[in-house]
Amino acid sequence: MKSLEDKHRLDMSSHDDAVSPIVGTMLLVAITVVLGAAIWIIVANLSKDGPSSAPNVLLVQDERQGHLTSPTTNVYADWSHIRLISSADAHFALNGVASLSSRALPADQAVAASLGYDRVDASDYLDFCVVGVSGPATVKTVYDDPSQRENALLQEVPFAAVRPCL
C-alpha cells in the first residue's frame, strides 16, 4: 500500500502547469491591449500640429522710428493671431510703410496684425506712425489663439519717438 506522501507526489506530478491555457491567453491579450494603447498615445501626441503654448515671436526694434522686425521664421505663428496694442493713436503696416491710409491702431485697443493667414517669416516687419505729432509710444504684441484660454503677452516695446503719419 502506498503511503499518503507517495500519493501526494503522484498528484503533484500530474499537474505541472503553472497556469491554465485560458488564463495564459487572457494575460497575453491584456498585455497586447495595454502595449497597443501606450503606442497609440505616443503616436497621437507626436502627430499634433504645433505647440500647445504661444509660439515665441521676437520682434526687434531697429534704428528707424516705429519699426519692428522679425529676425527669425516661426512656423507655428501667424500674423493673424498677433494683436497689437499701442499707447498712442497710430497706424501700422505689415511689410510696408505706415501712413494715414494704413490700418488704424487706436490707443489701448487690440488690433490683429493681419487679416489673413500670414506666417511670421524672417525679415517681416511692422511699421508704425502716430496720429498728430511725433512722440514716445509703447507697442505690445499679444498672441491671441482661439484654442487657448488666455492670450499671451509676447513683448512690450517702448519707442522713444515714432514718426507722425503723413
| pLDDT tens-digit readout, 56-89 | 778 888 766 678 888 887 777 888 888 899 998 9
97 falls within a domain? yes
Same domain, 75 and 131: yes
Query: Residues with Cβ < 8 Å from 22, sequence gap 6 or more?
Result: none
Residue 52 lies in a domain: no
Residue 126 lies in a domain: yes
Is 54 inside any structural domain? no
**CA 89/CA 130 separation, integer angstroms:** 6
Total domains in the fold of the chain: 2
The model's pTM is 0.62
Q: What range does the domain containing 83 cover?
A: 60-162
Query: Is position 12 within any domain?
Result: yes
Is the same domain home to 30 and 99?
no
Helix (H) or strand (E) holding 12: helix 4-13
The answer on 97 and 24 residing in a single domain is no
Q: How far apart are the C-alpha atoms of 139 and 143, rounded to whole Å?
A: 13
Q: Which helix (H) or strand (E) covers residue 103, if one does?
A: strand 103-105
pLDDT tens-place string over residues 95-118: 888 889 999 999 999 898 887 767
